[in-house]
């Protein structure tokens, strides 16, 4: 079977499953999710063996240590995936929820209720946990899902999909509710992007190249997710120890993810006071610093930042530094270079904090906290299917409600329109 026919058959199976998923009750969905969690633990050795093949292949291809970290599975991460499945199972089921009800003048009773989106196509790179997170959220929200992971994680994703799919089917969920594309050629992605009538929405999750390709070429509706050129602005009234801790966490806790900070903006009145300490801490952890001319006058040994540095999502131990004259300049810089993902201000000035919250156009805006919290599990969603940086139909970390749409239901007593 060719790649095109192969993908089409997967889509047909998922479409048929989506019809049955609308009738599956919460108890059966939760039972399936709990079984999937148990299956991950029971098959840990099988999954880790597959992951080791991907890690070795990645090393042979020269992937950076940060990209290898995105690929890596270990006992802790598999346990976290299982915990995520159980958390999703414990969450309130959004399907069938009455969003609002009202009565018209002619006594029609009209309501909005939450219903599944249908078939969700996931096209993603690097991180194998997306296979499990996406499947969990789609199932709980009454959808079926087609998963197409990147070639760098093909062995891990195949093993994970095999394990959770069997557990789902053995515990009452319909065949086709989880479909996994095992071919890694580009033709499979191209086919998914044009499967109107089978796939209801595509969610690309990965680097800028993947996301831009899907957004520009798909005829299926797309929810654009997360390139993260994230900033932290340190205001002149900031608690300097707090600012240092937030910057260090935002850059070094896990640099290869979309909510890691890539540029810090520092008010000129405190730059000479705080920059040397931050730089010492960052460089001791292996971070390369690139700064504007004003920053370089304070930190003599750093590289001079180029224009492209302000627009770069490094996903690496690299940080850009710009000294700004005011909060106005900080906001203008973020407006020009930000990707509407996550932005933060560190300040003790309430009015400036409120202004930052109001004027910054991003899916998540922080006051005195690290951007690393932009994450479905950290927000209490159990998992996330991605972080939407667009404004329709979802924004920010996408949990269960973001994987639903609404349907109007109308009760009448024989009314006709005159």
pLDDT of residue 370: 98
Mean pLDDT of 231-243: 97
- For the chain, the average pLDDT equals 96
pLDDT at 197 over 80: yes
CB half-sphere exposure, 299, CA atoms < 13 A: 26
Domain 3-225+398-411 is found in CATH 3.40.605.10: yes
pLDDT at 338 over 70: yes
pLDDT of residue 380: 85
| DSSP character string of 271-287 | HHHHHHHHHHHHHHTT-
- Least confident range of 51-65, 259-273, 383-397: 383-397
Beta carbons within 8 Å of 56's beta carbon, 6+ residues apart: none
127-to-39, 55, 60, 156, 250 alpha-carbon distances in Å: 19, 12, 18, 9, 19
As given in the structure block, the two tokens for residue 48 are 């880790």
Mean pLDDT of 172-189: 94
pLDDT at 1 over 90: no
Report pTM. Answer: 0.91
375-to-70, 353, 397 alpha-carbon distances in Å: 15, 22, 6
Percent of the chain with pLDDT over 90: 89
Would you kindly state where each structural domain of the chain is located, as residue ranges?
3-225+398-411, 230-373
Distance between CA 379 and CA 375 in Å, rounded?
6
Domain 230-373 is found in CATH 3.40.309.10: yes
pLDDT of residue 414: 97
Q: Are strands 396-397 and 404-411 parallel, antiparallel or unpaired?
A: unpaired
pLDDT in tens, 7-53: 999 999 999 999 999 999 999 999 999 999 999 999 999 999 999 99
- Least confident range of 107-121, 197-211, 233-247, 360-374: 197-211
pLDDT of residue 147: 98
pLDDT of residue 2: 57
Edge-first strand order for the sheet with 364-367 is: 303-304, 288-291, 318-324, 261-267, 230-234, 342-346, 364-367
As given in the structure block, the two tokens for residue 64 are 């950076």
- Least confident range of 137-151, 269-283, 332-346, 375-389: 375-389
pLDDT in tens, 357-388: 999 999 999 999 999 999 988 998 878 899 99
pLDDT in tens, 49-81: 999 999 999 999 999 888 898 899 999 999 999
Beta carbons within 8 Å of 272's beta carbon, 6+ residues apart: 298
pLDDT of residue 352: 98
Phi, psi of 268 (to 5 degrees): -60, -30
């Amino acid at each position: 079977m060719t790649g095109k026919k192969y993908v089409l058959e997967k889509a047909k199976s998922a479409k048929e499953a989506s019809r049955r998923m609308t009738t599956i009750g919460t108890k059966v969905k939760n039972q399936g999710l709990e079984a999937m969690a148990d299956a991950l633990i029971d098959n840990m050795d099988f999954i880790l063996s597959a992951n080791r093949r991907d890690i070795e292949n990645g090393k042979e291809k020269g992937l950076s240590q940060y990209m290898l970290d995105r690929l890596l599975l270990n006992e802790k991460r598999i346990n976290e995936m299982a915990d995520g499945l159980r958390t999703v199972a414990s969450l309130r089921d959004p399907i069938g929820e009455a969003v609002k009800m009202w009565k018209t003048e002619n006594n029609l009773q009209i309501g909005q209720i939450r219903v599944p989106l249908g078939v969700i196509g996931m096209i993603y790179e690097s991180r194998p946990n997306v296979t499990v997170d996406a499947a969990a959220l789609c199932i709980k929200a009454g959808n079926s899902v087609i998963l197409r992971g990147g070639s760098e994680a093909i062995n891990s994703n195949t093993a994970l999909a095999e394990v959770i799919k069997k557990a789902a089917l053995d515990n009452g969920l319909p065949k086709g509710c989880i479909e996994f594309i095992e071919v890694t050629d580009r033709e499979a992605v191209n086919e998914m992007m044009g499967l109107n009538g089978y796939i209801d929405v595509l969610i690309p999750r990965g680097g800028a190249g993947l996301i831009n390709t899907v957004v520009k070429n798909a005829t299926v509706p797309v929810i654009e997710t997360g390139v993260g050129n994230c900033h932290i602005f340190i205001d002149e009234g900031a608690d300097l120890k707090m600012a240092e801790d937030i910057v260090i966490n935002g850059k070094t806790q896990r640099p290869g993810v979309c909510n890691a900070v890539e540029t810090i903006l520092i008010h000129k009145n405190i730059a000479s006071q705080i920059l040397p300490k931050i730089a010492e801490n960052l460089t001791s952890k292996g971070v390369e610093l690139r700064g504007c001319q004003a920053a370089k006058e304070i930190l003599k040994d750093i590289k001079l930042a180029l224009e492209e540095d302000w627009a770069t999502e490094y996903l690496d131990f690299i940080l850009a530094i710009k000294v700004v004259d005011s909060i106005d300049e900080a906001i203008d810089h973020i407006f020009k270079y930000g990707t509407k993902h996550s932005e933060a201000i560190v300040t003790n000035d309430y009015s400036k904090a409120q202004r930052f919250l109001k004027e910054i156009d991003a899916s998540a805006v922080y006051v005195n906290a690290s951007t690393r919290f932009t994450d479905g599990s950290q927000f209490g969603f159990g998992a996330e299917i991605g972080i939407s940086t667009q404004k329709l139909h979802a924004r920010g970390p996408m949990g269960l409600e973001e994987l639903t749409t609404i349907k109007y239901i109308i009760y009448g007593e024989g009314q006709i329109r005159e």
